[in-house]
Structure 1
C-alpha cells in the first residue's frame, strides 16, 4: 500500500474509533478491567467504622491523634493485542473482510486503553511471529499499531496459535489484559493457552464470516484455500458436501470454546455483519 493511501486509512480509522472509545467505551472499559492491586494514596483522620488494621501508627504517634492509611486501586494496566493475520483473515463475503473488522476492534481497544493511561502492545502472527511491538503509551504508538495492522502482510502460510501464545508468554512477563483475535480455524493450542491464562487476563475474540459457518448452494465452484493456496472444485449443490463443511467449522468452534473454558479464559464471537460496538459493550458489561 502506498504511503499516502496508508496514512489516509489510518486517519479514517483513528477518527471513527477514537470517538467510539471516548463516547461509548471509556466507562465500560474502566469498570471491566481492574488494576493490578492497591497503592498508598494518603492518610486521613480516623473515622468511626474504619478498619483498625489501616491505622498508620507512625503518624498517629507523632500527632497523638489516630490516622489511617488510604489506598486506591492501581489503574495502570498493560493491554496486549495478539492478532492472527494468516491469509484466512483476508476473507470476506459481506461489507468487509475479517482483517478490516479486526483492525477497527483493535483500534477501539487501543484508544480505550490509552484513554485510561494504559500501555498497549501488539503481536501479529500467522504460522510464525510476523511482528512484535512492546507495550507503550501515547497516540503515536497507537497510530503505529493501526499502520501495522493495515499494512503488514503475512510471510507465513498457515496459522499457529500455540506458537503465538508461547511467544507472548515468554516476552510479556508482567500481567496484562490480552485480547487474542482470530478466526480460530486451528487446533493444538490448548496447553500454551492454559499457561498464558495462568499469568494473564486472556480473552479470545472469535471473528468470522457468515460463509465460513455455512456453505451456500451455488453449484460447482473452483475455490482456493487461502492458507495453502491449493485449488479445488467443490460441488456446493451437494447436501453432503455442505454438511461436511459445516461440521468442519463447528469442530474448530467447539475446540476453541472448550479450550478457553478449560483455561478459565473469556470468549467473545462476532460476525463480520454484526455491529461490533454492541458486541463489545455486551462483553464489557458482562464482566
Structure 2
C-alpha cells in the first residue's frame, strides 16, 4: 500500500496541524462564557432549559436571555435583572459534519477548499471541547463516511480529527464523486442527534439542492444548525484569461473566458447560488457563515462575529 501523501501547507492538512488549531481558539469567542455572550449564542435556543436540568449559576441579565429564566429573588435583592444558567447550556451535543470530497480538492486562493473545511471543523471542535460540550461528528467524502458519536472527551475529538486528516490526505483529482454524500450525512445526523443539539454543516457551496434543503429543514426542526458553505473565488467569477482547458478522468472542457456573455452568465449563476443559501438560512432561522479560500479562516470568522455584535457599524 503506498504511503499517504505528506501534508503540504494549503494543499493537504495533517493531524498535527488540526491539533494545533486548539491554540487559535483563544483568538475568537465562538461560544458564550460566564459574563460574556458570543453572537453565536442564538445557535443554542431554550429547548433544553428548565426541564429537569442542573442549575449552574446566576449572572446579570443580558439581551437575548430567556425571560423565563430570570431569578426574581436575586433581581429584587440587587435591583438589577439576573438570569439563571443551567448545566445543559455548556454541555450540549455538537455534531460537526465536514465534507472532504474531490470537488473540494481545488483552490485559486490561500488554501484548498478541503483544507479550509478541515481547519474550520478543527477550530469549532476545540472551541466546543473547551466549552465543556460533547463533541462528535461525521467526515464524508466521495466514497467514505466516518462517524464519531458526541462525547465530552478529548479522545473523541482526536478520533474525528485523525480521520479528517487521513481522508484529506487521500484526496486526489481523479476520484469519482458521490452525488448524495451530503444527503447521507444529513440523514444520519437526524438519526443520531437528540433535540437541542448543534449541527455544524461544512460543505461545498455548490452542494445545495432541493433534496439537501429538505434534509436541512427537517434537521432544523429539533436541532440548532450552523451552515458553513465553502467556496473559492473561481466559483464566483471567471477571469478574462483567454481560452481555458479543463480535464478530468479523460473528459475535456474548453472555455473562452474572453466571452463577456459567458462570464456574466457564470457570475449570475454564482450570485443565484449565494442568494439561495441566504434565503434558506432566513427561512430556517439558522446561522449562515460562508467561508472562502480567498482569506484566512479565523479572520473571516472574526469579521463575521464582529458584524453581529450590538452597536457594530459597517
The TM-score bracket by the shorter chain reads 0.7 to 0.9
Are the aligned partners of 1:165 and 1:196 in contact in 2 as well (CA < 8 Å)? Answer: yes
Q: 1:50 is paired with a residue of what secondary structure? A: helix
1:157 pairs with 2:177 = yes
Q: Structure 1 length as normaliser, TM-score?
A: 0.78
Once residues 4 and 278 of structure 1 are traced to their aligned partners in structure 2, the CA distance between those partners, rounded to angstroms, is: 28
Once residues 203 and 99 of structure 2 are traced to their aligned partners in structure 1, the CA distance between those partners, rounded to angstroms, is: 5
Check 1:178–1:273 CA distance in 2 against 1; reply closer, same or farther (3 A cut): same
1:271 pairs with 2:298 = no
Aligned match of 2:27: 24
Aligned match of 2:49: 37
Alpha-carbon shift at residue 144 of structure 1 (Å): 2.2
Once residues 171 and 27 of structure 1 are traced to their aligned partners in structure 2, the CA distance between those partners, rounded to angstroms, is: 24
Q: Matches of residues 156-195 of structure 1 in structure 2 within 5 Å?
A: 157-160=177-180, 161-186=182-207, 187-188=209-210, 189-195=212-218
Alpha-carbon shift at residue 117 of structure 1 (Å): 1.6
Aligned match of 1:9: 14
1:217 pairs with 2:240 = yes
Q: Matches of residues 105-124 of structure 1 in structure 2 within 5 Å?
A: 105-124=120-139
Q: 2:108 is paired with a residue of what secondary structure? A: coil
Alpha-carbon shift at residue 3 of structure 1 (Å): 6.6
Note the alpha carbon deviations across 1:92-124, whole angstroms, 9 max, x for none.
Answer: 012210111111111111011111121111222
When the two chains are superposed, the root-mean-square deviation of aligned CA atoms in Å is 3.2
Alpha-carbon shift at residue 143 of structure 1 (Å): 2.2
Q: Structure 2 length as normaliser, TM-score?
A: 0.72
Q: Which of the residues 98, 104, 108 maps onto 1:89?
A: 104
Alpha-carbon shift at residue 231 of structure 1 (Å): 2.5
Are the aligned partners of 1:208 and 1:270 in contact in 2 as well (CA < 8 Å)? Answer: yes
Aligned match of 1:148: 163
Are the aligned partners of 1:40 and 1:71 in contact in 2 as well (CA < 8 Å)? Answer: no
Q: Higher mean Cα deviation, 175-184 or 31-40?
A: 31-40
How many aligned positions are there?
Answer: 261
Q: Which of the residues 199, 220, 226 maps onto 1:203?
A: 226
1:73 pairs with 2:96 = no
Which runs of 5 or more structure 1 residues have no equivalent in the other structure? 44-48, 52-69
Q: 2:14 is paired with a residue of what secondary structure? A: helix
Check 1:224–1:95 CA distance in 2 against 1; reply closer, same or farther (3 A cut): same
Q: Higher mean Cα deviation, 72-81 or 269-278?
A: 269-278
Note the alpha carbon deviations across 1:25-80, whole angstroms, 9 max, x for none.
Answer: 3574543345832434499xxxxx628xxxxxxxxxxxxxxxxxx96412201111
Once residues 156 and 199 of structure 1 are traced to their aligned partners in structure 2, the CA distance between those partners, rounded to angstroms, is: 34
Check 1:184–1:12 CA distance in 2 against 1; reply closer, same or farther (3 A cut): closer
Once residues 91 and 41 of structure 1 are traced to their aligned partners in structure 2, the CA distance between those partners, rounded to angstroms, is: 48
Alpha-carbon shift at residue 194 of structure 1 (Å): 0.9
Note the alpha carbon deviations across 1:161-190, whole angstroms, 9 max, x for none.
Answer: 443322211222343111111222131122
Check 1:86–1:72 CA distance in 2 against 1; reply closer, same or farther (3 A cut): same
Which is higher, the Rg of structure 1 or of structure 2?
Answer: 1
Note the alpha carbon deviations across 1:188-235, whole angstroms, 9 max, x for none.
Answer: 12221111111111011122111111111111121136xx87421111
Are the aligned partners of 1:84 and 1:159 in contact in 2 as well (CA < 8 Å)? Answer: no
